Amino acid sequence: MYTTNFMQGFYRRLPDVLPRRAACAGLFVVMGSAALLMQATVAQESRIDQLSADGEAQVIAWRRDFHQFPELSNREFRTAGVVEEALRGMGLEVETGIAHTGVVAYLRGTSERPLVALRADMDALPVTEATGLPFASTVRTEFAGQEVGVMHACGHDTHMAMLLGVAQNLVALRDDLPGSVLFIFQPAEEGAPEGEEGGAELMLKEGLFDRYRPDAIFGMHAFSNLHTGQIGYRAGSIMASADRFRLTVHGRQTHGGRPWDGVDPIVTAAQIITGVQTIVSRQVDLTRAPAIVSFGAINGGIRNNIIPDSVELVGTIRNLDMGTRDMVHERLRTTVSAIAESAGAQADLEIIEMYPVTANDPGLTLQMLPTIERVVGRENMVEAEPRTVAEDFSFFALEVPGLYLTLGVTPPDVDAATAPANHSPLFYVDEAALVTGVRVLTHLTVDYMSGP
């Protein structure tokens, strides 16, 4: 309205300003160019939305196929084949076999730069599905020496389907794209099998970002704690680092009736468990960022009257700040060693660093918030609380500026606070959410390329 009124007034005063036509010529050019640019932008936005709507049925079909035939980490062979076939069918340059089963595709627009990376994860979980969906998984396989069901209980089927939908959109827009796109279909986000490497870390180790160095990377995760159509965002730390540890307490075996003849690793382990709780409660500045140290299993001894030689414990460490993470690791080593020594025992502690903190680049987040608002509306934007689950998107975001969003997938008539959570055998996705994800990721890509 402001621009329209200004122009009307300008035209009414045109006879008065004609003598200054040389100066006015520049103004006409600028204003005309701005108007044309605005018209082109609106037209492109409408085209993206129309392409997304037209491709919705195909995205849902892809999602149902992935859901019905899930595969575990580093075993995504069929999944990778479906992804590859779809990408090649779009005419994209495709690489396969990255980090075992990963697939990447390159879309060259009108310019090499900026290069935007978009990432989806591919693997499913050892969970037996209980949703009763007509396309529910009936796949069974072996995991950790046991026969298990396999289910896309964390939404990775939706991530792949949405990214294929985005690729389809951007291929249609190729001639107008002021940049290029790298589509990353990443295996083993849930963690590689014991003794194997995998996931984002291995893709980078194999040189993915040496061959293609993105200017920014975007990702999206389906979550049941938000309703369909809602988008969760947060600048800074959004998901925790995740590390695991293995602790063996060595004592000296003896008769249970004569504990003084040996060193009791069970009592020592109990003291360690209690002592470790003070790391978070008394030594971590929790006003800076939350931290967690949890023991998940303890194993030792075989008989009621035998004090064993050793006890084994395993657990997890979670942090939302990388500096806190280092400090917790150091304090854990010190606490374990000191308590064991005080009891005459020996402790062997192994900390296995897995995923860093997933942190959204603050500048990139601020830059892209207007795009998200335009696509879903301010009422559907939710500033997300940090989560103590982990994501190996974090490795990519350590290399280049990253923005990782969450997508609500719980129907509006269901309480999102009580909906079955990710990793549940009842985890349910409202497929109406998928077109929202496709639209958001497509608009983010195009808007980022077009500049702030």
- Residues labelled as active-site residues: 355, 431
| Residue in the structure block whose two tokens are 């609500």 | 408
Taking the C-alpha atoms of residue 301 and residue 253, their distance in angstroms, rounded to an integer, is 10
State whether the Cα torsion 39-449-441-47 is positive or negative: positive
**Bond preceding residue 114 cis, omega within 30 of 0:** yes
Helix axes 56-68, 77-89, angle to 10 degrees: 160
What is the largest distance, in Å, between two alpha-carbon atoms of the chain?
111
Distances (CA, A) of 67 to 137, 139, 156, 193, 245: 6, 10, 9, 21, 32
d(CA 429, CA 139): 19
Q: Is residue 333 within a helix (H) or strand (E), and if so which, with residue range?
A: helix 322-342
Distances in whole angstroms, Cα of residue 110 to Cα of each of 36, 258, 333: 20, 81, 54
β pairing state of 306-307 and 254-255: antiparallel
Residue 220's identity, in one-letter code, is M
CA 276, 282, 285, 287 dihedral sign is positive
Tell how far CA 286 is from the center of its chain. 24
For residue 224 the two structure tokens come to 């049941």
Residue 174 near residue 107 (C-beta atoms within 8 A) = yes
Rounded to 10 deg, the angle between the 362-376 and 434-450 helix axes is: 130
Give every CB contact of residue 385 below 8 A, 6+ residues apart in sequence. Answer: 234
Give the tokens for residue 270. 């109990």
Q: Is 348 left (phi over 0), alpha (psi -120 to 50) or beta?
A: beta
